[in-house]
Chain A
Amino acid sequence: MPLSSQSRTVASSADLPLPASIVATSQLTKCYGDFEALKQCTLDVSEGEIFGLLGPNGAGKTTLIRLLLGYLHVTSGSCRVAGFDPEEDSVAVRARVAYLPGDARLPRHMRGRGVLEFFSQMHPQGNLSRALEVAERLELDLSRRVAFMSTGMRQKLALAVVFGPRTPLLILDEPTANLDPTVRGEVLKLVLAEREAGRTVMFSSHVLSEIEQTCDRVAFLRKGELARKLVMEDLFQRHRLTAWLPDTGAPTNDTDDLRNEVPEELSSRIERYQVGPSGPHGRNVCIDTAGDLAPTLGWIASLNLEHVRIEPLGLHSVYESVHLGRGDQDPDWAHAPGSMPATPGVSS
């Protein structure tokens, strides 16, 4: 519980009241015999946001999605999607959700247009003209049979199927897999447009840049556990400053933690202030900031640093920290204002 003991003063998006949840899970667990594919996962997705699911292969992302849709039966815990429990009424859930599977396969005997017609009539919220519009936007040839389509074309067709119905929730499991960069960009625009239209999107991907571009909040899964939740807006406010501090004394091999030298009024904004061993240009300085950068700039300027470089701390570093299993122990991320522990009821 790294954050439970941390009292943060920086206002983060995590502290703001969230709209009603369209997806809510509580202690959700799925076991296959002795193997726990998902362990006590508690999360909620608010209406109108784009929620990212991140994690390495086998982390439990798809298991979570399949539990939400009623493909899998819950071992313990509970979940509600659009107000319905998929265990009790998965049909009602699926009437309110458009789902793109990770490996979307469509009836091979149908032609592209036939597939769109078929699915638009299958779904109560189906909209053929919208699906055709998406297909055209993705430059898809609808006259071909599915059997003769390439993997990318089939993915585009599946996307047109899924973006057709006007459901309140859209669940996309790796929607840009097998697509070229141009189409990827188009898909991300579609996802953003869905949010603008008031729909909620759950988005699973391995491409961190896509998550960064689109998501409002992200959950990291690792080995079936919800390892971390993150508000993207707060992540974008995190920066790392690296610079050289000209040597003023004797050379040293020590790394000094100088956080106690940070002015009191900035202490909540400075995550790390380390000065490394002596090098050819002096001592290496690394400062991690959280929140608005502007108030810290004056203090940074007073440090007389050289070769200053400031860069945003991307999702990649969080992902690596979670992926390598240092999520809860990593001091960097344990202190992140936008990051929340996976344990319910504990927030930063």
Chain B
Amino acid sequence: MIHWREIGIDRMMVRKNIGQSSLLFVFLAIALFAFGWVRVWVVKLLDMGQFQTIIEQFRDYEKFAPVSFDALFTYTGRVGMTFDEPMVILCTVIWCVARGSDVVSGELGRGTMEMLLSQPISRARFLLSHALVSSVGLLLLCLLLWAGMTVGIETTTLTETVPPPSMRVPFLGFELPLTNDEPVEISFPMRERVDTETYTASVFHLFAFGFFLLGISTCFSSFDRYRWRTIGAVMTVYVIQLVMFGLGKAAESLAWLQSLSFFNCYRPQKMTGLVRDGDLWSPWSLSTPITEGMYPPLYYPGLLLFFGVVLYIIAIVRFQQRDLPAPL
């Protein structure tokens, strides 16, 4: 049974964790919101026709792209690329690694663990209060990116050039204009072509990706007493996983490496494609595979969340079992 006083302790721990992370959160929130907005606005700068011509030149490298090039020839697909932008990934990684690594090794390194744990709070609750603030913060950051994209979608006006009607001459392979009219430019709001709700599943994927990173950072932190070493260890795992994912995509013989990388579970653009080709509920299926040979769409973020929870459980067990060293 949880007593009222214990809730008070949890409340104070949550307040303290919010206070500690608020500045980082504010900076990342501004960055993600602004980036989401600007990234959508940038879509209008590139004429769809020109963009298609450019992308077609890189067809040989399509396998390295997180989504098929054809998906990029739509406004929905191009806006959906936001979730694979390094800026978005970087901000998410910064939040998750910074907060996750702080739980145990951060408090130990600063020497504040001693005073905090002198209060009647169990180590599990201590860690979970931190996890709560970090997870809610992550969710808010994902939603803020989405909000920025929504503002961008609602405020951006697109311009397209419509060429005069023409017909392709059989065998000769060239276009023959049917009139002498000039190409016509038409403008329309982006929201007519792009629905914000399309990205619900992508936002969920970003959250699941971040939650896994929070879990691994927290787990490493619970084993360590130096935060810098925890961050180094997490980034080493991150880079190794990224290299495995890249190698798996690059070489057919190493394709199996992909399935060992958690990046394989981060598929926001696939989700965008599912919504575009199906309906809003398509990415939330646990029974219908995405394509032949793949698992159902909810399986991938589910795996990230599952392993995130497993890593949190390992962190709690380790934290409870270990001796807490005196401050250096």
User: Given A107-B16, A109-B20, A110-B19, is A122 in contact with B119 using a C-beta cutoff of 8 Å?
Assistant: yes
Given the complex, which residues of A lie within 8 Å of B117, measured CB to CB? 71, 94
Q: Mark B1-42, 1 if CB is under 8 A from A, else 0.
A: 000010011011101100110000000000000000000000
Mark the stretch among A41-49, A96-104, A208-216, A280-288 that contacts chain B. Answer: A96-104
A104–B19 CB distance below 8 A: no
CB distance from A153 to the nearest CB of B (A): 15
Tell me which residues from 83 to 98 in chain A have a Cβ below 8 Å from any Cβ of chain B: 90-92, 94-95, 97-98
Measured in the bound complex, the distance between the Cα atoms of B20 and A108 in whole Å is: 9
Q: Does B321 contact A (CB under 8 A)?
A: yes
Q: Which of B8, B11, B15, B119 is close to A119, meaning CB atoms less than 8 Å apart? A: B119
Beta-carbon contact of A118 and B16 below 8 Å: yes
Apart from A69-B118, A73-B321, A107-B112, list 5 A-B contacts with CB within 8 A.
Answer: A71-B117, A72-B323, A90-B122, A105-B112, A122-B8
Contact present for A103 and B20 (CB under 8 Å): no
The residue that B122 contacts in the complex, of A91, A102, A107, A108, with Cβ under 8 A, is A91
Q: How far is the CB of B266 from chain A (nearest CB, A)?
A: 33
Within 8 Å by CB of A105, from B121, B122, B327, lies: B327
* Cβ contact within 8 Å between B118 and A73: no
Please report B residues at the A interface, Cβ cutoff 8 Å: 5, 8-9, 11-13, 15-16, 19-20, 110-112, 114-115, 117-122, 321, 323-324, 326-327
Q: Which residue of B lies closest to A65 (CB)?
A: B326
Task: Pull 19 A–B residue pairs with CB atoms less than 8 Å apart, ordered by A.
Answer: A71-B323, A72-B324, A91-B122, A92-B120, A94-B117, A95-B120, A101-B115, A101-B118, A103-B111, A103-B326, A105-B110, A105-B112, A105-B115, A107-B16, A107-B20, A107-B112, A118-B16, A121-B9, A122-B121
Say yes or no: is A127 at the interface (Cβ < 8 Å to chain B): no
Q: Indicate if A231 sits at the interface (CB-CB under 8 A).
A: no
CB distance from A208 to the nearest CB of B (A): 23
A202 to B158, CA, bound (A): 74
**Contact partner, B9, options A71, A73, A92, A122, Cβ 8 Å:** A122
Contact between B12 and A104 (Cβ–Cβ < 8 Å)? no
Q: Shortest CB–CB separation between residue B310 and chain A, in angstroms?
A: 24
Tell me the count of chain A residues lying within 8 A, CB to CB, of chain B.
Answer: 32
The answer to whether B324 touches A91 (Cβ under 8 A) is: no
Known: A92-B120, A107-B16, A110-B19. A102 touches B8 (CB 8 A): no
CA distance A158 to B119 in the complex (A): 13
Using CB atoms, name the residue of chain B closest to A102: B326
B115 touching A104 by the CB < 8 A rule? yes
Instruction: Report the bound CA distance from A72 to B326 in whole Å.
Output: 10
Contact pick for A94, options B110, B120, B321, CB 8 Å:
B120
Residue from the set A90, A104, A107, A110 with the largest chain B CB neighbour count within 10 Å: A107
Shortest Cβ distance from A171 into B: residue: B118
Q: Bound state CA distance, A71 and B111, in angstroms?
A: 13
Chain A residues whose CB sits within 8 angstroms of the CB of B121 once the complex forms: 91, 94, 122
Residue of A92, A103, A105 ringed by the most chain B CB atoms within 10 A: A105
Query: Among B11, B118, B323, which residue has the most Cβ atoms of chain A within 10 A?
Result: B118
Q: Given the complex of chains A and B, what is the CA–CA distance between A105 and B114 in angstroms? A: 8
Asked whether B326 lies within 8 Å of A108 as measured between CB atoms, the reply is no
Chain B residues within 8 Å of A110, by CB:
16, 19
Looking across the interface, which residue of chain B has its beta carbon closest to that of A161? Answer: B115
| Residue A268 at the chain B interface, CB threshold 8 Å | no
Chain B, Cβ-Cβ closest to A97: B118
Whether B112 lies near A94 (C-beta < 8 A) is no
Give Cα A118–Cα B13 distance, bound, in whole angstroms.
Answer: 9
| Residues of chain A lying within 8 A (CB to CB) of residue B120 | 91-92, 94-95, 122-124
Contacts of A296 in B (CB 8 A): none
Given contacts A105-B112, A107-B16, A109-B20, contact A94 B118 (CB under 8 A): yes
Are the C-beta atoms of A118 and B12 separated by less than 8 Å? Answer: yes
Known: A106-B112, A107-B20, A107-B112. A123 touches B326 (CB 8 A): no
Q: Does A130 make an interface contact (CB < 8 A)?
A: no
Instruction: Name B8's contact: one of A99, A105, A121, A161 (CB within 8 Å).
Output: A121
> How distant is the Cα of A123 from the Cα of B115 in the complex, in angstroms?
12
Contacts of A118 in B (CB 8 A): 12, 15-16
Query: How far apart are the CA atoms of A106 and B5 in the complex, in Å?
Result: 22
Chain B residue at minimum C-beta to C-beta distance from A105: B111
